[in-house]
A and B are shown apart, each in its own frame.
Chain A
Amino acid sequence: MNPADHSYLGLPGPALQAVLLAMSLGLFSFIMWKRIGLLRLGAPDPRLDRIGTRLRKLLVVGFGQSRQPRYLVAGTLHITIFAGFLILSVRSVTLIGEGFRAGFSDIGAGYATFKDVTALIVLVCCLVAILRRLAFRPARYHDRYARDSHGHEAYIILGLIALLMVADAVFEGSAMVAGAGEAQGDAHPFLPLASGAASLLDGLSSGTLETLHLAGFWVHNGVLLFFLCYLPLSKHFHVITALPNVFLANLTPAGKVKPPRFDQPDLDKLDVLGVKTLEDFTWKHILDFYSCTDCGRCSDHCPAYFTGTPLSPRMISIKCRDEAYASYPVFGSVRPVDQRQALVGKTISDEELWACTTCGACEEACPVLIEYVDKIVDMRRFLVDEGRVPASLQKPMADLEKRGNPYGKPARRRGDWIGEQSKSGEEVTGDGCGVRALAPGDEAEYLFFTDSCAAYDPRIQETARAFGRVLRGAGANVGTMANDEVDSGHEVRRLGEEGLYEQLRDTNITAMRQRSFDCVVTTDPHAFNELTQSYELGQPVQHHSQVMAQLIREGRLRLRTAADDRVYTFHDPCYLGRHNDEYDAPREVLEGLGLKVVEMERSKNRSFCCGGGSLYLFYEGESERRMGEVRVEMAEKVGAEVVVTACPFCLINLEDAIKTTGREGSMEVIDLAELAERSLIE
């Protein structure tokens, strides 16, 4: 009763298997060739450096599924099914061989038990996963902006996997029942699933058993080969692309924005700046679209989605993939660009793109390392190049160009925050904050890069001065470039105005080269990020939390234990934490003060954006709620009375939120430097 020894309508088993295999492999290759064809049209993107790091990433995030446990139930189910997939792939291959030669799939009792137990677990997981989707309907699977849901595909795939398990069980079980009559005494290995099937089939006639045995085999075979060809047509393409996608992931720090083109550094020589059509994305970004599982973890973590803005990062991937599949169909001809609806503007709306604060929560949540910030910045670059910038952002951007700050304040007032005494450049005592204005040629240990907010916003000037006094308390020699500094350009770059960014960056670098210093320090994580990732200064750049932690460790900065029994929590700024991986330094400073500190549920790499920095304070987009208000509620939920942050914009947004939600008096926001200053031992 072996499938290979049987004839089907006159066709011998091996011949039938050969035909099926050739057809499915042929079809699969054809589909893959079409899919890869689009990748080849994408913009260049070098992704084959640092192979060792890539392999490690593949092991940890790919095979190790390290991003899965963030969602414990779904993650566990996925890890189990994925492990089962790997274990059972051997079985699937040997079963194909079984179609050619009887006994091919018999590779030992050990594996038989192993795969049978695995198949049982996978079957259970599939059933649980189906039930979970049906009965509990997790909110993250139902995107508010999804027009046509791909949700049914999940049922198809789970059903197919379950069918594979059942078919194999029937194949094995029927043989067990039939064989039990013939070979008495042969001890079966432990096969719980197959034995279960056998007990259900017990008592059937030998003819029926043979039919079931053959049917089980060919159903398994057929489903497997169908599955293979169905993958690249569905959202389950990730079964094929996820591992390569992880291997080819972006290895540069998350906070570093990609250049507009890797093959042309000169913006003026580009026909299109940024992404206008599908083909303007890099090939890796198109591979990202193929790899999206539609799991919704990105949007579930996205503060813009949470607060009801038009953005849902998941839909960027889904809509671009739909566009890719429609414009580059497997069967039929490519749809030329002029016959498609505009990708940027129609498929992805301008408002969707402007709603992103580039906080990076989506990327941190994605199990297959899909990149979103770079894509959004690339599409914004196109919008800016076309002049499609929201009115609320145009004035601050024009002011950045003319005055070097988005507030429209005179450039000659930039250094005023230091206080009157230090303007002459002399050492300051008394009420000054210990920061000197450095003229070209001057030297200092620390160059304090203030950036526009600390230079001009009266509330944030206090933070800057507090930090100056902390450094003075540690005996550090600190200076600023005062009026010679301009905005770091961090935000304007993320809004897509690359030309203006380059102009600002070059002005700052020129001014920095005219002064001598050991280290750049800033109170603004956005400036810290841009200076660290893209200025290529030569000197180290540190965030003020890092400098304070270091000075404490060196014994230069001495802080007394704070006499305060209120409950504190630390709000991780996106560009310090997620984008630069610095979670410890601010906590180290906090711990030194002996305060009662609790962690919010969404802290460290899951931190919830306050609403965005710099130009985001000017942007007037649609939303139901303000991110800062949501964040303040999260702090209250863990009983925090003081929120400590280390970013001027977090401070502004959270202070506003405390006022607008009527929490004045019951909650306070403070910058880490201000907190340190209160406990300073001079």
Chain B
Amino acid sequence: MEIIVCVKRVPNLSETEIEVDRDGRSLVDSDLEYDVNEWDNFAIEAAVQLKEARGARVTAITIGDEDSEDVLRRALAMGADEALHLMDTAFDGSDAWGIATALHRAIADRSFDLVLTGAISSDEARGHVGGMLAAMLDIPMVALVTSLSVDGTTATVRHEVEGGLERVTRIDLPALITVQTGLNEPRYVSIRGIRKVSGMEIPVRTAADLRLDASTVGAEAARVKVEEIFLPTRGEGAEMLDGDEESVVEALVERLQRAGGF
């Protein structure tokens, strides 16, 4: 069984003081720490667990600059057998369509049974790539999967549908699945684990290697463009409580009481 996992390196914004760049369309990245996209981490774990349970060959693929090699090394340390790095300045500024196009060219010529992607990426939060890639590969897909088992030529998946419902679906392989967080408990990657795979060769493919027309990817080809990024502005009635912990809590309690919250 061949499993392909698409992973992405994203900024970790949880404890960061976010600053919007002067162009208003990107973040100042001098202080940003990057990590593998959380959803993708669950996808790698799912692939490795399938490999451990029934045997499979797992390949991790990413698109990005040299720094993106990190997330591929991480995937290898978790148990992926090989990695593929799509790197070309031509990919810069791609929208989801451009990313899916490049991934499609990288995957289409390979044999595969299952393609896993994260349901969304934390930086763009659109959730487009999985669906577009499935369409380009012309294979069935299920989104937001919370449990996954593979039996011969079919996969049985549970996935979230509207209204908090979950549904169990059976699909024929090859198929694409976008993974929701909580599907499993991703393993920890130790420093030794990373060091063990540091010598593994990771092939790099450019747009030309993929016989990809550079005009179909990148900023120029992007049909979705970011107009502005901004921190939420203070809405009407919003109030920031300043001061030390105690006075803030007191003030909050007083306001809640006034509003009939207690």
Q: Footprint of B on A, CB under 8 Å?
A: 267-268, 273, 384-389, 391, 393-394, 397-399, 401-403, 407-410, 412, 497-500, 502-503
Contact = CB atoms under 8 A, between A and B. Distances in A.
Interface in B1-37: 12, 14-17, 31, 33, 35
B166 to A, nearest CB: 21
A496 to B, nearest CB: 9
Nearest to A403: B33
B17 A273 contact: no
A349 B76 CA distance: 27
Contacts of B187: 386-389
B14 A499 contact: no
Given A407-B15, A408-B15, A409-B15, A385 B192 contact: yes
Contacts of B15: 399, 407-410
A384 B188 contact: yes
B31 A410 contact: yes
A401 B188 contact: no
Nearest to B77: A387
B190 A268 contact: no
Contacts of A503: 191
A497 B31 contact: no
A397 B35 CA distance: 13
Contacts of B168: none
A499 B35 CA distance: 19
B222 to A, nearest CB: 30
Contacts of B196: 268
Given A385-B192, A394-B188, 9 more contacts: A268-B192, A268-B196, A387-B189, A388-B188, A391-B185, A399-B15, A402-B33, A407-B15, A410-B16
A399 B190 CA distance: 13
B195 interface: yes
A385 B31 contact: no
A267 B191 CA distance: 10
Contacts of A393: 188
Given A268-B195, A403-B33, A412-B31, A499 B17 contact: no
A497 B190 contact: yes
9 contacts: A267-B195, A387-B189, A391-B185, A394-B186, A397-B188, A402-B12, A498-B192, A499-B191, A500-B190
B78 interface: yes
Contacts of A410: 15-17, 31
B52 to A, nearest CB: 11
A353 to B, nearest CB: 14
Given A268-B196, A410-B15, A410-B17, A497 B191 contact: yes
B190 A385 contact: yes
Given A387-B187, A410-B16, A410-B17, A273 B192 contact: yes
A137 to B, nearest CB: 42
B193 interface: yes
Given A402-B33, A410-B16, A499 B195 contact: yes
Contacts of A498: 192
A34 to B, nearest CB: 35
A342 B186 CA distance: 21
Nearest to A503: B191
A457 to B, nearest CB: 13
B74 to A, nearest CB: 10
Contacts of A497: 190-191
Q: Which 6 A-B pairs have the closest CB atoms?
A: A387-B187, A499-B191, A389-B188, A408-B15, A499-B192, A387-B188
A412 B193 CA distance: 28
Contacts of B192: 267-268, 273, 385, 498-499
A386 B52 CA distance: 13
B188 to A, nearest CB: 4
A393 B188 CA distance: 9
Contacts of B16: 410
A384 B188 CA distance: 7
A403 B12 CA distance: 11
Contacts of A387: 78, 187-190, 193
Nearest to B187: A387
B16 to A, nearest CB: 7
Given A268-B196, A403-B33, A499-B195, A408 B14 contact: yes
A500 B17 CA distance: 26
Contacts of A407: 15
A385 B186 CA distance: 14
A402 B35 contact: yes
Interface in B182-232: 185-193, 195-196
A499 B188 contact: no
A407 B35 CA distance: 16
B38 to A, nearest CB: 10
B249 to A, nearest CB: 12
A580 B72 CA distance: 43
Contacts of B195: 267-268, 499
Given A391-B185, A407-B15, A385 B193 contact: yes
B190 A499 contact: yes
- Which of A387, A389, A397, A402: most chain B Cβ within 10 A? A387
B195 to A, nearest CB: 6
Contacts of A409: 15
B69 to A, nearest CB: 16
Nearest to A492: B191
A268 B17 CA distance: 37
A177 B191 CA distance: 79
A384 B33 contact: no
Contacts of A408: 12, 14-15
A60 B260 CA distance: 70
Q: Specify which of B31, B190, B196 lies most central, judged by the most chain A CB atoms within 10 Å of its CB.
A: B190
A498 B193 CA distance: 11
Contacts of A499: 190-192, 195
Contacts of A412: 31
A225 B14 CA distance: 69
Contacts of A385: 190, 192-193
A342 to B, nearest CB: 15
Nearest to B15: A408
Contacts of A384: 188, 190
Contacts of B35: 398, 402
Nearest to A387: B187
A499 B33 CA distance: 20
Interface centre among B185, B187, B188, B189 (most CB of A within 10 A): B188
A499 B78 CA distance: 16
B53 to A, nearest CB: 16
A410 B192 CA distance: 24
A497 B192 CA distance: 9
Contacts of A401: 191
Nearest to A270: B192
A387 B49 CA distance: 12
Nearest to A504: B191
A654 to B, nearest CB: 18
Nearest to B245: A458
A409 B31 CA distance: 11
A398 B196 CA distance: 18
A393 B16 CA distance: 20
Nearest to B16: A410
Contacts of A394: 186, 188
B161 to A, nearest CB: 26
A384 B191 CA distance: 10
